[in-house]
Structure 1
Amino acid sequence: MTEQMIYGVEGESQALKDAVASAQATFKFYWREMSWEARRIIKCLDMAAVKLSFMLDPDDPDIPVVENMWVRDVDFDGATVTGVLMNEPRWATAFKAGDPVSLPFAALNDWMYVRDGHVYGGFTVDALRSSMTDDERAGHDAAWGLGFGEPGTVEVAPAAEGQAPWRVSRALSHLADQQLLAQLEQGDHPMAVNMREKLEEALQQYPGMITDFDDGGWLLLHREVLAGNYPVVQALLRHGADPLATNSNGQTSLALAHEAGWPRIARLLQGEASDEPEPEVAKGFALWPVGLLLVAMALAWLYFLVVVPVSRAGVGQGAEVAGIWSFMGAVLVLSLGVVSSTGPWYFKLRQRTPLWGASRALDIGALLGVVLIAFALHDQVQRYVIAH
Structure 2
Amino acid sequence: MTEQMIYSVEGESQALKQAVASAQATFKFFWREMSWEARRIVKCLDMAAVKMSFMLDPDDPDIPVVENMWVSDIDFDGKTITGVLMNEPRWATAFKAGDPVSLPFAALNDWMFVLDGRVYGGFTVDALRSSMADDERAGHDAAWGLDFGEPGSVELVPAAEGQAPLRLSRALSSEADQQLLAYLEQGDHPMALNMREKLEEALQQYPGMITDFDDDGWLLLHREVLAGNYPVVQALLRHGADPLAANSIGQTSQVLAREAGWPRIARLLQGEGADEPEPSEAKGFSLRPVGLVLVAVALAWLYFLVVVPVNSARAGQAVEVAGKLDFMAAVLILSSGALCSNGAGYFKLRQRTPQWGASRALDIGAMLAALLVACALHDQVQRYVIGH
TM-score under structure 2 length normalisation: 0.81
Matches of 1:257 and 1:338, distance apart in 2: 36
Letter paired with 1:257? A
Q: Which shifted more, 364-373 or 250-259?
A: 364-373
SS in 2 for 1:136: helix
Instruction: Please give the secondary structure, in 2, of the residue aligned with 1:214.
Output: coil
Residue number in structure 2 paired with 1:111: 111
2:38 is the alignment partner of 1:38? yes
Equivalences for 1:304-315 in 2 at 5 Å? none
| 8 Å Cα contact 1:339-1:346 kept in structure 2 | no
Match of 1:138 in 2: 138
For 1:332, give the aligned amino acid. A
Q: Within 5 A, what are the aligned runs for 1:1-388?
A: 11-281=11-281, 287-288=291-292, 290-297=294-301, 299-300=303-304, 328=325, 331-337=328-334, 339-340=336-337, 348-349=345-346, 352-353=349-350, 355-361=355-361, 363=363
- Identity across the alignment (%): 74
Checking the alignment, whether the CA contact within 8 Å between 2:72 and 2:84 is kept in structure 1 is yes
Contact 2:10 2:66 in 1 (8 A): no
Residue identity in the other structure for 2:221: L
User: Is the alpha carbon distance of 1:139 and 1:329 closer, same or farther for their aligned partners in structure 2, counting shifts above 3 Å?
Assistant: farther
Larger Rg, first or second structure (1 or 2)? 1
| In 1, Cα distance between equivalents of 2:268 and 2:370 | 43
In 2, distance between residues paired with 1:59 and 1:187?
A: 49
Q: Tell me if the contact between 1:328 and 1:370 (Cα under 8 Å) persists in the aligned partners.
A: no
Query: CA deviation digits over 1:146-167, x for unaligned, max 9?
Result: 1222211111100100001011
The question of whether the paired residues in 1 share the 8 Å contact of 2:52 and 2:107 is answered with yes
Alignment-derived partner of residue 4 in structure 1: none
Residue-by-residue CA offset, 1:21-71 (whole Å, 9 max, x unaligned): 111111111011111111112111111000001111254202111100000
Structure 2: unaligned runs, 5 residues or longer: 1-7, 380-388
Alpha-carbon spacing, 1:11–1:330, altered in 2? closer, same or farther (3 Å): closer
1:215 Cα deviation (Å)?
A: 2.2
Q: Aligned partners of 1:25 and 1:341: how far apart in 2? A: 47
Deviation at 1:213, TM superposition (A): 2.1
The 1-side partners of 2:261 and 2:331 are apart by 52
Query: Aligned partners of 1:218, 1:62: CA distance in 2, in Å?
Result: 45
Q: In structure 2, what is the Cα distance between the partners aligned to 1:17 and 1:282?
A: 48
Tell me the residue number matched to 2:3: none
Range with bigger deviation, 85-94 or 356-365: 356-365
Alpha-carbon deviations, 1:199-253, whole Å to 9, x = none?
1222222222222222222222222111111111111222222222222222222
Shift in CA distance, 158/197, structure 1 to aligned 2, threshold 3 Å? same
C-alpha distance after superposition, 1:156-185 (max 9, x if no partner):
100100001011111112221111111000
Stretches of structure 1 that go unaligned for 5 or more consecutive residues are 1-7, 380-388
SS at match of 2:81: strand
| Aligned equivalent of 1:3 | none
After TM superposition, the score normalised by the length of structure 1 is: 0.81
Worse-matched range after superposition: 104-113 or 169-178: 169-178
Tell me the matched-pair count: 369
CA distance in 1, matches of 2:359, 2:279: 30
Paired residues of 1:89 and 1:95 also in contact (CA < 8 A): yes
| 2:48 and 2:72 in contact (8 A); partners too | yes
- Provide the C-alpha distance between the structure 2 equivalents of 1:275 and 1:303, rounded to a whole number of angstroms: 52
Q: 1:215 to 1:134 in 2, by over 3 A?
A: same
For residue 142 of structure 1, report the CA deviation from its aligned partner. 2.4
**Deviation readout 1:318-367 (Å, 9 max, x if unpaired):** x9999x8xx74664145314653698576744664454444455555666
Report if the CA contact (8 A) 1:50-1:72 is conserved.
yes
Closer/same/farther in 2, CA of residues 239 and 369 from structure 1, 3 Å limit: closer
Q: Secondary structure at the match of 1:157?
A: coil
Mean CA deviation greater in 179-188 or 58-67: 58-67
Contact persistence 2:168–2:177 (CA under 8 A):
yes
Tell me how far 1:132 sits from its aligned partner.
Answer: 1.9
Structure 1 CA distance for aligned equivalents of residues 116 and 300 of structure 2: 62
**Structure 1 pair 178–364 and aligned structure 2 pair: CA distance change class (3 A):** same
What is the distance in 2 between the residues matched to 1:116 and 1:36? 16
Classify 1:240/1:346 alpha carbon distance in 2 versus 1 (closer, same or farther; 3 Å): closer
Backbone CA RMSD of aligned residues: 3.6
Q: Distance in 2 between matches of 1:339 and 1:217?
A: 26
Alpha-carbon contact 1:288-1:342 (below 8 Å) kept: no
| Residues 335, 370 of structure 2: 8 Å contact kept | no
Return structure 1 stretches of 4+ with deviation > 3 angstroms.
8-11, 282-290, 297-304, 319-322, 327-331, 341-379
SS state at 1:251 partner:
coil
Shift of 1:368: 6.9
Residue aligned with 1:63, SS: coil
Note closer, same or farther for the CA distance 1:244–1:86 as it changes in structure 2 (3 Å cut): same
Matched AA of 2:299: V
